[in-house]
Amino acid sequence: MLSLRSLLAGTLRREDMGDWALFAASWLRKCTGRVMLNPHRLSPLSSSSRAICGLSAKRRGIIQRKMTENGVTSRRGKVLTIDTMNPSVKKVEYAVRGPIVQRALQIEKELKEGAKKPFSEVIKANIGDAHAMGQRPITFFRQVLALCSYPELLDDPSFPEDAKSRARRILRSCGGGSIGAYSASQGIDCVRQDVARYIERRDGGIPSNPDNIYLTTGASDGIVMMLKLLVAGEGKSRTGVMISIPQYPLYSAALAELGAVQINYYLNEEQCWSMDISELRRSLAAARQHCNPRALCIINPGNPTGQVQSRQCIEDVIRFAAEEHLFLMADEVYQDNVYAEGCQFHSFKKVLFEMGPEYSSKVELASFHSTSKCYMGECGFRGGYMEVINMDPQVKDQLTKLASVRLCPPVPGQALMDLVVNPPRPDEPSYDKFLKERSATLNALAEKAKLTEQILNTVPGITCNPVQGAMYSFPRISMPEKAVREAKEKGQAPDMLYCLRLLEETGICLVPGSGFGQRDGTYHFRMTILPSTDKLKILLDKVKDFHLRFTQQYS
């Protein structure tokens, strides 16, 4: 199991190593004055080595102490190892930037270095990164950001007046008139006021209070902050949070990190990924056996599934949350991304207030928005906001405190958020151009959503729900038994095998459905609709050919 020779030679492998061996080695070292071990090979007692040296905890304790007394600690190898790090962090998974994306980056490198591949470029359809896929920024937004960054440009006649007035207003509300100053932790006052007014316009006049607006570092930041507040209890009373399956993996990742219980409710693929209250009830009842369900998360329009929820469905969900005493978290970052005819975005807040005081005075709701999606797609600025409704004032103070520890969200992102909620008005010089740019982007997305659904549904073995909104298709793929077996043997999810093969053979980077969750025995992938129409057509044809080839090879 462990040879003295290997010990003397210092060729001991990490996995053969237990603390007792280090202890022995340290003594040998003291006798011979020679270092027998490469410290890089050593690690604190790992589960494997524990199994190997198989000592009682007590015995190990004694050795640990002896080692410390003998100053061997410093030869114990690294302080921080995979065995001694935060176990909750190890549980975190994030498929959108997971192994498949790592491999894609590797392949790009190989191509740069002249490697021969059956394709000339990697097409990344794995992440909702509009600008990376060639979408142009809104001119007005960038003009204002340039003016805020370098106010000397306020004297430049080539900048439109409305851009300058926006920049002046933002700068006036920054400490020292600079976006380089910290803002209030909750966000710049005038930006929060503009957000509140935007929400009121969006929701047909239902009032919004700037004190309930928190500017955030993208929507993710707000979602994580809210989950942080909600997590409490141990064992059976540990906080559980209901999330849709398929989900956006930020939720599972945050819950794993916080050690909260993830409660899955399944979307109804047959009904275009709609939400069933009966499924919510099933999932909640099951969860109540082992945890304390306290919150319900909804993504509308849906990521990765692209559905747009009906007003009726939202009303039912709110009633369910009220009855079951659940805190509602509405991820509404795709609120401008609605394409399908007859579909319309309804904010949870609007529906909540239209349901009357019995609900609007009671149901606790946090709604999230971002600068990263919709028609602007400004992911890199990490701008966002959340609005909290019916939040306990003392909890709100705690939320503000929590925000203050991180000092403030990035101010350029706050400025951008302000422009999103306060774009050029019809009477302003930049209005026409703004409208033209916004419509062009949204129309192109609508066209690509239709195109994606149509082409994918022509492929035998692929069925794709209509992409009603958001930026993704999440088609179901039939997987030959042989492929499933091979994947299982490799310890891979079958759709991971599928996507890896697709990447290697075509250079197309998609995310396997297993990264978002799906009903057992079903397989999917998520593909963004962001590539240019021409590129998207090529991409879809390549997927088609690959799927036929793949199915054939495994039949």
Which phi and psi (to 5°) does residue 300 adopt?
Answer: -145, 125
Return d(Cα 17, Cα 342) in angstroms, integer: 65
- 20 Rama sector, left if φ>0, alpha if ψ -120 to 50, beta otherwise: alpha
With CB under 8 A as the contact rule, the residue among 32, 86, 268, 454 that binds a copy of itself is: 86
- Give Cβ neighbours of residue 238 (< 8 Å, ≥ 6 apart): 232, 259, 260, 261, 291, 292
- Toward a copy of itself, which CB reaches closer, 326 or 462? 326
With CB under 8 A as the contact rule, the residue among 80, 120, 289, 520 that binds a copy of itself is: 80
Angstrom CA distances, 133 to 99, 180, 497, stand at: 21, 30, 25
With CB under 8 A as the contact rule, the residue among 89, 285, 286, 435 that binds a copy of itself is: 89
* Shortest Cβ 27–a copy of itself spacing (Å): 18
367 half-sphere exposure, CB direction, 13 A CA radius: 24
- Toward a copy of itself, which CB reaches closer, 4 or 35? 35
If binding is defined by CB under 8 A, does position 112 make contact with a copy of itself?
no
Q: Is 215 helix (H, G, I), strand (E, B) or coil?
A: strand
Could you tell me which of 144, 152, 57, 36 has the C-alpha nearest to residue 412? 144
Return d(Cα 355, Cα 389) in angstroms, integer: 14
Q: Which range, of 1-9, 81-89, 343-351, 471-479, touches a copy of itself by CB under 8 A?
A: 81-89
289 exposure class (CB count in 10 Å sphere: 0-12, 13-18, 19+): exposed
If binding is defined by CB under 8 A, does position 220 make contact with a copy of itself?
yes
If binding is defined by CB under 8 A, does position 94 make contact with a copy of itself?
yes
If binding is defined by CB under 8 A, does position 192 make contact with a copy of itself?
no
With CB under 8 A as the contact rule, the residue among 395, 458, 485, 549 that binds a copy of itself is: 395
Residues 494-523 that bind a copy of itself (CB under 8 A): none
Residues 467-496 that bind a copy of itself (CB under 8 A): none
Contacts 24+ apart (CB under 8 A), 177-181: 177/151, 179/148, 179/149, 179/411, 179/412, 179/415, 180/411, 181/411
DSSP string, 237-261: GSEEEEEEES--THHHHHHHHHTPE
Q: Which range, of 94-102, 266-274, 428-436, 485-493, touches a copy of itself by CB under 8 A?
A: 94-102
Residue with tokens 């390549």: 542
With CB under 8 A as the contact rule, the residue among 127, 338, 471, 509 that binds a copy of itself is: 127
* Shortest Cβ 483–a copy of itself spacing (Å): 27
If binding is defined by CB under 8 A, does position 109 make contact with a copy of itself?
no
Query: CA dihedral defined by 19, 22, 27, 30, rounded to 10 degrees?
Result: -140
* Shortest Cβ 362–a copy of itself spacing (Å): 5
Return d(Cα 408, Cα 183) in angstroms, integer: 6
* Shortest Cβ 292–a copy of itself spacing (Å): 9
Q: Where are the alpha helices (DSSP H) in 346-428?
A: 348-354, 357-360, 393-405, 411-421
Round to the nearest angstrom and report the end-to-end CA distance of the chain.
45
* Shortest Cβ 482–a copy of itself spacing (Å): 32
Return d(Cα 331, Cα 347) in angstroms, integer: 10
Q: Which range, of 201-209, 409-417, 429-437, 470-478, touches a copy of itself by CB under 8 A?
A: 409-417
- Toward a copy of itself, which CB reaches closer, 182 or 268? 182
With CB under 8 A as the contact rule, the residue among 76, 192, 524, 547 that binds a copy of itself is: 76
The residue type found at 206 is I
* Shortest Cβ 288–a copy of itself spacing (Å): 9
With CB under 8 A as the contact rule, the residue among 230, 313, 374, 449 that binds a copy of itself is: 230
Q: What is the distance, to the nearest Å, from the Cα of residue 167 to the centroid of all Cα atoms in its chain?
A: 31
Q: What number of chain residues touch a copy of itself (CB under 8 A)?
A: 100
Q: Per-residue contact track with a copy of itself, 10 to 49, x per CB under 8 A?
A: -----------------------------xx--x------
For residue 301, whether the previous peptide bond is cis, meaning omega lies within 30 degrees of 0, is: yes
If binding is defined by CB under 8 A, does position 311 make contact with a copy of itself?
no
If binding is defined by CB under 8 A, does position 236 make contact with a copy of itself?
no
With CB under 8 A as the contact rule, the residue among 3, 32, 70, 81 that binds a copy of itself is: 81
If binding is defined by CB under 8 A, does position 9 make contact with a copy of itself?
no
Q: What is the distance, to the nearest Å, from the Cα of residue 82 to the centroid of all Cα atoms in its chain?
A: 24
Residues 410-449 that bind a copy of itself (CB under 8 A): 410-413
Q: Which range, of 83-91, 336-344, 462-470, 514-522, touches a copy of itself by CB under 8 A?
A: 83-91
* Shortest Cβ 88–a copy of itself spacing (Å): 8
- Toward a copy of itself, which CB reaches closer, 78 or 482? 78
Residues 348-367 that bind a copy of itself (CB under 8 A): 361-362, 364
With CB under 8 A as the contact rule, the residue among 215, 391, 483, 499 that binds a copy of itself is: 391
Return d(Cα 461, Cα 463) in angstroms, integer: 7
If binding is defined by CB under 8 A, does position 217 make contact with a copy of itself?
yes
Residues 144-173 that bind a copy of itself (CB under 8 A): 145-147, 149-150, 153
Cβ contact 75:68 at 8 Å: no
Residue with tokens 């057509």: 537
If binding is defined by CB under 8 A, does position 382 make contact with a copy of itself?
yes
Return d(Cα 233, Cα 228) in angstroms, integer: 12
